[in-house]
Amino acid sequence: MSCVGCKDGAGFDLPITMAFQPIVDVTTQTVFAYEALVRGKDGRGAGQVLSHISHDNRYAFDQLCRTTAIDLAAGLDMTAGGASLSINFLPNAVYEPRACIRATLAAAMRTNFPVDRIIFEFTESEVMDTDHILNILRSYRAMGFKTAIDDFGAGYAGLGLLSVFQPDIVKLDMALVRDIDTNTVKRTIVRHTLNMLRDLGIQPVCEGIETLDEHDALRDLGVDLMQGYLLAKPALEALSPVAWPSQAAPVALSA
């Protein structure tokens, strides 16, 4: 598709906002980044918002998420403590990276948000054109953004993508983390995955940590960067405080 199609596409009419969930360095007890998670202004959850995406409005939705996340993050002074902003993007909503990034750059310039504090992460859960995603990732890196693969181990790209492009960050899917303290198979898989990522110079993040035992098992494997309800839940239009492991209380997994 051409960028004329982007410009003339239908708008995304559902008002949205963002909740922010921290990715923390449990070794230094600092916030590494905050992931922007879409929510409806009327209280709808992410799933309900995402159900409104169509072929015709996905570009408008992707652009709206980016600019909304940057505007809110700037207003919250997110980078004051050294944290970055992690924005999810839809690879199939990016037609030409350098053209489609204009609204993002304009939002960053308008709010004085530093470009080098923006991480673009995408999920590998949809079949995609590898050449297309490589073009996006390489273009973003050349423009000074950091890149991340989300939900690694649960989708289509996996090792094939890593063999031709090494992002700055890889987030291991929460399915690999769940019950890792009692599941020896998962511990073996995660241990070898972590070693591979470190050999490639990629920062690993483990997400979905919900229990202290999972946290401790990951610490034993040398994981520094973690994300999950044990540490902090997403906060709507706010930066939630982190409950460091020594302070963390059990959480309701249904929250």
Domains of the chain: 3-236 (3.20.20.450)
**Looking at residue 239, what DSSP letter applies?**
B
Long-range contacts of 107-110 (CB under 8 A, 24+ apart): 107/66, 107/67, 107/70, 107/71, 108/70
pLDDT at 131: 84
Distance (Å, rounded) from C-alpha 170 to C-alpha 172? 6
Query: What's the pLDDT score for residue 124?
Result: 62
| 132: number of Cβ within 10 Å | 14
Beta strand pairing call for 16-25 and 225-227: antiparallel
- pLDDT at residue 248, as a whole number: 45
CA distances from 162 to 75, 157, 220, 233 (A): 35, 8, 25, 30
d(CA 35, CA 32): 10
Handedness of CA 119, 124, 127, 129 (dihedral sign): positive
Q: What are phi and psi of 99, to 5 degrees?
A: -80, -40
pLDDT computed for residue 5 by the predictor? 45
Q: List average pLDDT for each run of 10 residues in the chain, which is 255 residues long.
A: 46 91 96 97 91 88 94 96 93 78 92 95 71 88 92 72 91 94 96 96 96 96 96 96 70 41
Q: Spell 148-180 as b/e; 16+ CB within 10 A means b.
A: bbbbbbebebeeebbeeebbbbbbbbbebbeeb
